[in-house]
Structure 1
């Protein structure tokens, strides 16, 4: 029995389809479906350097703030560390004053550098009262973020001035034991003031005293006792 020959077009499609099926069949060629192994990529790009605090622009950090909790924790550790190595309250206050003195020299250096870099005509105070106002406002803001509350002059002694801080940030989280009630941790602040006074050319002895009131239980007075040479120079400049 003779069968009719398929149409040439159908025959071509049939052969092509069959060859395509054989071509795509996974059993026909197992290597065609194997994925090539990905080449290992080795990056030659150097890693970014870690930020260094010494590379930061000093002017950009002018308005930056330090965490109050971090500062309180660090200062409390300083007080506890110092307390274990002293023999009395006077020795503890003296050491806190020394630590503050080191901070004061650096604070003034930074303030002077910023003033000279941002002003075409920077000036240096040569009179005592303008220098005292500088400490009352700018130094206090640079260290504590706010100005001190008042400046007073002693009625009894002409060489004594006082800076009043009703709520010193350095005393907010300090709990002084009853047997050490005379201790003033603001001796650290007194050291900062003494360093600024000495560097500005107004040598003085600066101490801190607790002067609490009903409204301000942490009120502190920074007592500045000027040397005689400062008073003599003030008389000549009048």
Structure 2
């Protein structure tokens, strides 16, 4: 019976890692120099998603809920992807509400839309310390959607709200609602201005207070 010992000088077959330590998860899907997805392709795909979600709905709220549900699983995976692409020394999960919201406003928005969100504010109402607002003056998801006159209240940015909610759930920081809403100051200058209301669960505020005391 022959001996199957591998010949000298030949490596055993198996998973090999690049010398720079970066794997396929570090590379963008688009390998073009700009590393950007064609807006025409995105507009087509997203309009198809909206069309699919709009079948057999009973109300505008029902359609927005479906869009929110479509975005939620993306948010569950995006946080891990963004952290994985960070240098090893900075791969730390956000432990506080503010660091999580800044990550969403900066890194996540830039990853999805090529720019940071336009604003991050805390509710000015003292009775609502659990509410924060992420502001986008011109959401990309609304730019190429033609809304029928009888559905003028529809805001397809509910899809982005689902992503925000998914990121919060992945971080074990329950972000209830995460809903997108039109209006607020600056509506005249930015007709499509959308405010994403992020409402944190009571236990998150309790943890925040405990971390502050520590």
Question: Aligned partners of 2:90 and 2:59: how far apart in 1?
Answer: 48
Superimposed CA distance per residue, residues 34-87 of structure 1 (whole angstroms, 9 cap, x where no aligned partner)? xxxxxxxxxxxxxxxxxxxxxx82323287211111001110111111111321
1:223 aligns to what SS in structure 2? strand
**Alpha-carbon deviation of 1:123?**
1.2
Structure with more helix by fraction? 1
- Runs (4+) of structure 1 exceeding 2 A deviation are none
User: Against the structure 1 CA distance between its residues 232 and 68, is the aligned structure 2 distance closer, same or farther, given a 3 Å change threshold?
Assistant: same
Which runs of no fewer than 5 residues in structure 1 stay unpaired?
A: 1-55
C-alpha RMSD of matched pairs (Å): 1.6
Partner of 2:110: 141
Q: What displacement does 1:121 show?
A: 5.1
Q: Provide closer, same or farther for how the CA distance between residues 88 and 121 of structure 1 changes in structure 2, counting only shifts above 3 A.
A: closer
**Contact in 1 for aligned 2:84/2:91 (Cα 8 Å):** no
| Cα deviation 1:134-163 (Å, max 9, x = unaligned) | 000000011111100001111221111000
Q: Give the one of 148, 153, 165 matched to 1:177.
A: 148
Does 2:177 correspond to 1:203?
no
Report 1 or 2 for greater relative contact order, CA contacts < 8 Å, sequence distance ≥ 6: 2
| 193, 212, 223: which one aligns with 2:197 | 223
Matched ranges for 1:58-207 at <5 A: 58-61=25-28, 64-115=35-86, 118-120=87-89, 122-156=91-125, 157-205=128-176, 206-207=178-179
Larger Cα-atom Rg: 1
Is this contact kept in 1: 2:120–2:134, CA < 8 A?
Answer: yes
